Amino acid sequence: MKLIAAMSGGVDSAVAAARAVEAGHEVIGVHLALSANPQKYRSGARGCCTIEDSHDARRAADVIGIPFYIWDMAEEFHDGVVEDFLAEYAQGRTPNPCLRCNEKIKFAAVLDRARAMGFDGVVTGHYARTEITPEGKTLHRAIDISKDQSYVLSVLTVEQIAGAIFPLGDTTKVDIRKEAAERGLAVAEKPDSHDICFVPSGDNAGWLRDRLGSEIGPIVDQSGTKIGEHNGAYTYTIGQRKGLGLTVPTADGSPRFVLKIEPVSNTVVVGSREELAITSMKGERPVWCGPAVSATPTRGFVQIRAHGQALACTYSYDGTLLHATLDEALLGLATGQAMVIYDGDRVVGSATICETN
């Protein structure tokens, strides 16, 4: 096949590209320039957006022996990922930008462009697997569960999965680093990236405050009584306990947690641990990674964070919303996050959480 390898400058995408070449594919390396004003040097745990990273990607492509190009996707990234991130926070939700980037950039803008240019698909260094089944190509968890990235890939449609190649899903990260060293790739020991790539300081709350302003608003309890103040509701996360700065203690001295963020009234609602508990959730804008989910309640698992646990549940789809009822109650769940349904290790689909109960 003729493939485009998306190369961030990190160890994973470099090994993925090398493996694709070894598998006999014709591969061209592409680094995505996602920032209009990239910083010169990498700092902290961010792994793809600096000029240093693009040099690392180029060097890896040269060592592997494949052509290398840089594609300017800064505008698409800003519109599809950064703006979405801000808009979601402004609505009191907690978005996952990596998921949005896979949905709108890597397996949309890049894959579409690649296909139009005559390529068959896109190779990335994501830790996930695909399988060819009678029902088509399906998406599965990686062997290395600690690195599994199927959660952030759950926004891919069947059509997108068909054009996605994940060569690393059958290997642990430790072995990928070893393999990179054996292949003479200088990025073998490059640190993993963790932070949000477009927040250079790593200070998400500060970054949001600079862009969304910091309007002071009330912190109230479940009865609506004001018990404190905040300077920007969106800098809080559901389930957050620390940093609330509350001076009015609860009757029994138990801690308070963020239960709800109300962007319109700029209010943060807090309450007890028990009040955080939820047993069901609904998600909008579902995407199916295989056959669509039906109205029939089905047993499976739901995951609500990138590296969270798979929670046993019963799920169904009513034609508009994806429903999941948990076997056991869960503490603290923010709307805006993705609920990803698994059937064993297969990704069934995902939706954006819009309601919890």
Phi then psi for residue 88, to 5 deg, are -65, -45
86 binds other proteins (CB under 8 A): no
Site string for other proteins, 46-65 (x = CB under 8 A): -----x--x---x-------
Spot the catalytic one: 48, 49, 101, 313.
Answer: 101
d(CA 36, CA 230): 32
Q: Give yes or no for a contact between 13 and 36, defined as CB atoms under 8 angstroms apart.
A: no
Binding to other proteins in span 92-111, by CB under 8 A: 109
Q: Which residue among 70, 181, 205, 278 contacts other proteins (CB under 8 A)?
A: 70
Q: Which residue among 44, 45, 62, 67 contacts other proteins (CB under 8 A)?
A: 67
Q: Which residue among 65, 118, 253, 319 contacts other proteins (CB under 8 A)?
A: 118
Q: Is 101 a catalytic residue?
A: yes
162 binds other proteins (CB under 8 A): no
Stretch that binds other proteins, among 28-36, 176-184, 249-257, 327-335 (CB under 8 A): 28-36
38 binds other proteins (CB under 8 A): yes
41 binds other proteins (CB under 8 A): no
Supply the minimum distance, in Å, between the C-beta of residue 30 and other proteins: 8
71 binds other proteins (CB under 8 A): yes
Closest CA to 288 of 345, 353, 344, 342: 342
Q: Which residues contact 145 (CB under 8 A, 6 or more apart)?
A: none
Q: How many Cβ atoms sit within 10 Å of the Cβ of residue 52? A: 15
Q: Is 354 a catalytic residue?
A: no
d(CA 67, CA 88): 38
Long-range contacts of 238-247 (CB under 8 A, 24+ apart): 238/94, 238/276, 238/332, 238/333, 238/334, 238/335, 239/276, 239/331, 239/332, 239/333, 239/334, 244/219, 244/268, 244/270, 246/219, 246/270
72 binds other proteins (CB under 8 A): yes
By beta-carbon proximity to other proteins, the closer residue of 1 and 306 is 1
Kindly tell me the number of DSSP H helices and DSSP E strands found in the chain. 11, 17
Q: How many Cβ atoms sit within 10 Å of the Cβ of residue 80? A: 19
Residues annotated as part of the active site: 101, 197
Q: Which residues bind other proteins (CB under 8 A)?
A: 28, 31, 33, 38, 51, 54, 58, 67, 69-72, 74, 109, 112-113, 115-118
